[in-house]
Chains A and B, each alone.
Chain A
Amino acid sequence: SQPLAGGQAAELQSKVVPSKQIIHSNNMEMEPETMETKSVTDYFSKLHMGSLVYSCTSKRKNK
């Protein structure tokens, strides 16, 4: 390494500027969040499927 800086000055600076603050760069790579999902069709299919199936079959029967 290069000869630089006296000990006293380095002491002073190491208190003021911690080394990791300067070179810190938070690049830890996290995984994505998972969100819970709802859908209008989920509910729609559960609730209306009976009547829908009924109307379709009755239409077919009518034909």
Chain B
Amino acid sequence: RSRMEASCLELALEGERLCKAGDCRAGVSFFEAAVQVGTEDLRTLSAIYSQLGNAYFYLHEYAKALEYHHHDLTLARTIGDLLGEAKASGNLGNTLKVLGNFEEAIVCCQRHLDISRELNDKVGEARALYNLGNVYHSKGKNVANAGTHDPGELPDDVKNALQKAAKYYEENLSIVTELGDRAAQGRAFGNLGNTHYLLGNFRSAVLAHEQRLLIAKEFGDRSAERRAYSNLGNAYIFLGEFETAAEYYRRTLQLARQLKDRAVEAQACYSLGNTYTLLQDYEKAIDYHLKHLVIAQELHDKIGEGRACWSLGNAYTALGNHDQAIHFAGRHLEISREVGDRSGELTARLNLSDLQMVLGLSYSTNNSMMAESHAVENSLNGGRPRGRRYSMENMELMKLTPEKVPNWN
């Protein structure tokens, strides 16, 4: 019996060592071997289940993570280990959140919070508040994504969830500030900023992300720094301050290149392309959209490629380069069909027929006539362009109501 216990413990220790070294896959094999050997020490078994759950979580195998965190919770309750139960509940809550089961996630995270308060465990309480904020944020974002709402026009359930998220992040912030935990403050500021962004409170979002940036620099955490730049760029777009947004996106791009993260680099190029479109600098917009296109192709990201073609089609149209515009509108159509994007397909078709019409007209009609008809159209629509050029439409909206524009980020 004691020989078996030793072997279970040794295997688990090796699993711990491997996970700490960043090799979760190998760690999992050792933990599973430890479970196979078995132990009569239920606290040791609880620790193994918990670490298996976390390892699977980091490996994005959430069904497995759920299974092991659930085993851990049952075990902790059986042996009456209250702190262990709180931890298992928190981990289960995080896993349920990722799986989109928000209601059960809330119950679990609330249990983590209640026990932490009962035990007067301030660190645990703060962590539970952060997790609860994350669940409500995800819940709000999930419901918002299902519809087609612009910031500031959120349905009540989305707004309620996001306001709860903000409340939990703020409660977390007051505790971690008291505890002097700067890393935790950084995380809370980042997610609080994103919650304000979704709620349409862009000034508050900027304030929170500036704090996040400050803490990231304190720690020399370049990934967090890059995240803050990107989020600041997004908020400044919605404040209508495009030059400032472009500056933050350029810093994002610079760091993405330093960190050698191609997906993030592509995203930064896309954001810069859109920003220069808003600034009506179409040459620069095309430059960045082409950079985005190249990386999207390299990463076999068909959706990104389609998006790049759509953007390029628009930018070339704005420059009057109809041949290139038709080329990219055609590519957009092909890709939309390939990925089964019905909306994209319809848009591409309409863009193509518009462009073919413009090309056809340019041979038979002179430009002044077209300008005249456009002026009439504009005056009929109260001076606001109502054409199919959505990026242009967004830009006009942004000038008129900088805090209420479609969310293209």
Is there an interface contact between B13 and A41, defined as CB atoms closer than 8 Å? yes
- A7–B409 Cα distance when bound, in Å, is 27
Does B377 lie at the interface of the complex (its beta carbon under 8 Å from any beta carbon of A)?
yes
Q: Which of B386, B391, B394 contacts A11 (CB 8 A)?
A: B386
- A44–B318 Cα distance when bound, in Å, is 69
Is there an interface contact between B370 and A3, defined as CB atoms closer than 8 Å? yes
Q: Does more than half of chain A's interface fall in helix, strand or loop, or is it mixed?
A: loop
Which positions 339-398 of chain B face chain A at CB distance < 8 Å? 343-344, 346-347, 350, 354, 358, 370-371, 373-374, 377, 380-381, 385-394
Q: Across the interface, which residues of B come within 8 angstroms of A53, CB to CB?
A: none
Interface centre among A14, A31, A38 (most CB of B within 10 A): A38
Is there an interface contact between A38 and B51, defined as CB atoms closer than 8 Å? yes
Chain B 136-154 near chain A by CB (<8 Å), digits 1 or 0: 0100000001001010000
Is there an interface contact between A28 and B388, defined as CB atoms closer than 8 Å? no
Does A19 lie at the interface of the complex (its beta carbon under 8 Å from any beta carbon of B)?
yes
A2: min CB distance to chain B, Å = 5
Does B262 lie at the interface of the complex (its beta carbon under 8 Å from any beta carbon of A)?
no
Is there an interface contact between B190 and A25, defined as CB atoms closer than 8 Å? no
Does B290 lie at the interface of the complex (its beta carbon under 8 Å from any beta carbon of A)?
no
Is there an interface contact between A31 and B13, defined as CB atoms closer than 8 Å? no
Q: Across the interface, which residues of B come within 8 angstroms of A20, CB to CB?
A: 148, 150, 406-408
Does A35 lie at the interface of the complex (its beta carbon under 8 Å from any beta carbon of B)?
yes
Q: Which of A2, A18, A39 contacts B47 (CB 8 A)?
A: A39
Is there an interface contact between A31 and B191, defined as CB atoms closer than 8 Å? yes
Q: Across the interface, which residues of A come within 8 angstroms of B231, CB to CB?
A: 28-29
- A35–B388 Cα distance when bound, in Å, is 47
- A11–B386 Cα distance when bound, in Å, is 8
Q: Which of B88, B191, B267, B320 contacts A2 (CB 8 A)?
A: B320
B137: min CB distance to chain A, Å = 8
Q: Which of B9, B130, B310 contacts A34 (CB 8 A)?
A: B130
Q: A13-B347, A23-B274 are in contact. Are A1 and B385 (CB under 8 A)?
A: yes
Is there an interface contact between A19 and B394, defined as CB atoms closer than 8 Å? yes
Which positions 1-51 of chain A face chain B at CB distance < 8 Å? 1-7, 9-11, 13-14, 16-44, 47
Q: Does more than half of chain B's interface fall in helix, strand or loop, or is it mixed?
A: helix
Q: Which of B84, B371, B394, B407 contacts A38 (CB 8 A)?
A: B84
- A11–B186 Cα distance when bound, in Å, is 45
Is there an interface contact between B191 and A35, defined as CB atoms closer than 8 Å? no
Closest A-chain residue to B332, C-beta based? A22
Q: Which of B9, B186, B191 contacts A30 (CB 8 A)?
A: B191
Which positions 306-326 of chain B face chain A at CB distance < 8 Å? 307, 310-311, 317-318, 320
Q: A31-B227, A38-B87, A39-B16 are in contact. Are A3 and B371 (CB under 8 A)?
A: yes
Interface centre among B124, B231, B371 (most CB of A within 10 A): B231
Interface centre among A17, A31, A37, A47 (most CB of B within 10 A): A31
Q: Across the interface, which residues of A come within 8 angstroms of B311, CB to CB?
A: 23
Is there an interface contact between A7 and B380, defined as CB atoms closer than 8 Å? yes
- A47–B262 Cα distance when bound, in Å, is 48
Q: Across the interface, which residues of A come within 8 angstroms of B224, CB to CB?
A: 31
A7: min CB distance to chain B, Å = 6
Q: Which of A18, A27, A40 contacts B230 (CB 8 A)?
A: A27
Q: Which of A11, A26, A31 contacts B145 (CB 8 A)?
A: A26
Q: Which of A4, A25, A26, A39 contacts B354 (CB 8 A)?
A: A4
- A41–B145 Cα distance when bound, in Å, is 44
Q: A18-B148, A27-B267 are in contact. Are A5 and B87 (CB under 8 A)?
A: no
Q: Across the interface, which residues of B come within 8 angstroms of A47, CB to CB?
A: 43
The 4 closest A-B pairs by CB, nearest first: A3-B374, A36-B87, A20-B406, A29-B227
* 4 further contact pairs, Cβ within 8 A, besides A16-B346, A29-B226, A37-B50: A3-B373, A18-B148, A31-B188, A34-B131
List 7 A-B residue pairs with CB atoms under 8 Å apart, sorted by A's residue number. Answer: A3-B358, A3-B371, A9-B388, A25-B307, A27-B409, A31-B224, A35-B94
Q: Which residues of B are at the interface with A, using a C-beta cutoff of 8 A?
A: 9, 12-13, 16, 43-44, 46-48, 50-51, 54, 57, 72, 84, 86-88, 90-91, 94, 112, 124, 127, 130-131, 134, 137, 145, 148, 150, 184, 186-188, 190-191, 194, 197-198, 224, 226-228, 230-231, 234, 267, 270-271, 274, 304, 307, 310-311, 317-318, 320, 343-344, 346-347, 350, 354, 358, 370-371, 373-374, 377, 380-381, 385-394, 406-409
